[in-house]
Homo-oligomer: A and B are copies of this chain.
Amino acid sequence: MTRYRLNIEYDGTFFRGWQMQPDAPTVQEEIERALTTLFGGREIRIMGSGRTDTGVHAVGQVAHAELPEDRDPGKLLRGLEGQLPEGVRVWRVEPVGEEFHARFDARERQYAYRILKRPNSFLGRYGWLVPYPVKMEQIIDATPLLLGKYNFRPFSTRPDDEESTDCELRTLEWREDRFGWVLHLAADRYLRRMVRTLVGTLVEIGGGRREVETLQTLLSQGIGRAGVPAPPQGLALMRVRYDIDDAEDSPEPSLWGEFS
């Protein structure tokens, strides 16, 4: 048995999330099925760094798998390419030590959320066109308030499922391009729906539907109601960082732009 790390990208449009439903195709299932075929029917399970909701995309999801025998990583990659359906791709396979755990060893997770400037027939499934006017300057101004370690309980849909509701947001940066704006985030961990709820709350501020002070109250006192979560199709899991990262572990070029 050898443990491998897989770097994965997927178009969330086509799947019911990473691992959500027992009766709908998930990314995890597709990869497990492909690996099982490549290893002659021997059942193989994989462990992801974390789940993503239905409709959420990934450029740099990470998983580990216990494979029944050593295989050349290049051959494994090509084999997976031949087995996986459109919209999901393993772009790197590396042998790792037996102690590596995709979920427990992750020390940082990076996400990106795209807001569209105008309707777009090609990017509509990869961004959010806010259905009311928003002032981006107000959103950009309010964003740094979220930086730091806080109890993000009000920003989770199921806070009681979590061991802790403390998260440390380390990066929050809006980048403009010709399609709109992309928020790049990095944190040690996130609660359920947290990124989408953060974006939804910021957009309500930019739309004049919420005072910026409510954000401060939510963060400092855990009191009040956060915004409606932004829709899933704007969100992508960009990268998961580990102590064993190397240069080739950088995410592939993507519609959400580069992440430094």
Contact = CB atoms under 8 A, between A and B. Distances in A.
Interface residues of A, number: 29
Contacts of A81: 119
A81 to B, nearest CB: 7
Interface string A65-91: 000000000000000010000111101
B177 A260 contact: yes
A249 interface: no
Number of copies: 2
A258 B89 CA distance: 25
A122 B260 contact: no
Interface string A223-260: 00000000000000000000000000000111101111
B122 A57 contact: yes
Interface centre among A57, A81, A252, A257 (most CB of B within 10 A): A252
B177 A122 contact: no
A260 B254 CA distance: 12
Contact of A88 (B86, B89, B121): B121
A11 B260 contact: no
Contacts of A11: 121-122
Interface of A: 9-11, 57, 81, 86-89, 91, 118-124, 126, 177-179, 252-255, 257-260
A10 B235 CA distance: 23
B119 A126 contact: no
A231 to B, nearest CB: 14
Nearest to A258: B178
A129 to B, nearest CB: 11
Contacts of A253: 120, 178-179
16 contacts: A9-B120, A9-B121, A11-B121, A11-B122, A57-B122, A86-B124, A88-B121, A89-B120, A91-B119, A118-B252, A120-B252, A122-B126, A122-B255, A177-B260, A178-B257, A179-B253
Contacts of A257: 178, 260
B89 A254 contact: no
